[in-house]
Chains A and B, each alone.
Chain A
Amino acid sequence: DTGVSQDPRHKITKRGQNVTFRCDPISEHNRLYWYRQTLGQGPEFLTYFQNEAQLEKSRLLSDRFSAERPKGSFSTLEIQRTEQGDSAMYLCASREQGRGNTIYFGEGSWLTVV
């Protein structure tokens, strides 16, 4: 069990560029979540998948954001035409299906838009 893995850990990009983050969940976990955390705030829910199906999206997930989990394993989060307000840590998490099961978080991907 290697835990939830995220890549890259840090990304600096110019405003207007596209960025993509990858998340590899714990292997037997069929639920995968994306959260965003800005400085001084707690994590905010963005979206989640059950296997390859994206079942819920937050209103925070604007049209410039897209998440996929094509084979029900790893997931990607793409941000198009980045804005300075997108600067944040993007956290991926996973858990096994079942009420109350622990959600395990990765170490996050820091995005800085300059």
Chain B
Amino acid sequence: AQSVTQLDSQVPVFEEAPVELRCNYSSSVSVYLFWYVQYPNQGLQLLLKYLSGSTLVKGINGFEAEFNKSQTSFHLRKPSVHISDTAEYFCAVSGAGGSQGNLIFGKGTKLSVKP
């Protein structure tokens, strides 16, 4: 079984500042890792995913994440945020060995970008 911990429930940041949203996971098997974004009253949109290969993954909207197997982390970063990045961000994991593709989500981090 897998689990995901998002260490910060809310992250306030000023526009054009860098941001890091932290995610740690627990699993007894190899995993795939994902970050999704959810704007108010909408579904989830995939930002990026790690399946294998390079541990630094680049996604949409200027976001990137780094897979660290020894620390079981997959932190999301953006060097300069915009007001439009205000949303809730979810880290998710699925087992790489299975084929179901079910995602286990963290509780989310609300990113609030202030002018």
Q: Which residues of A contact B (CB under 8 A)?
A: 4, 31, 33, 40-45, 48, 55-56, 91, 95, 97, 99-108, 110
Contact = CB atoms under 8 A, between A and B. Distances in A.
Given A4-B43, A91-B43, A42 B107 contact: yes
* Chain B binding surface, main DSSP class: loop
A40 B107 contact: yes
A43 B101 contact: no
A108 B107 contact: no
Given A91-B43, A100-B49, A100-B51, A45 B101 contact: no
Given A42-B108, A45-B104, A91 B44 contact: yes
A99 B96 contact: yes
Interface residues of B, number: 24
Interface of B: 4, 32, 36, 41-46, 49, 51, 90, 92, 96, 99-108
A38 to B, nearest CB: 10
Contacts of A106: 43
Contact of B43 (A45, A99, A107): A107
Contacts of A95: 101
A102 B102 contact: no
Given A100-B32, A102-B46, A48 B103 contact: no
A45 B103 CA distance: 7
A89 to B, nearest CB: 9
A113 B7 CA distance: 31
Given A4-B43, A91-B43, A105-B44, A100 B96 contact: yes
Given A100-B32, A102-B49, A108 B96 contact: no
Nearest to A56: B100
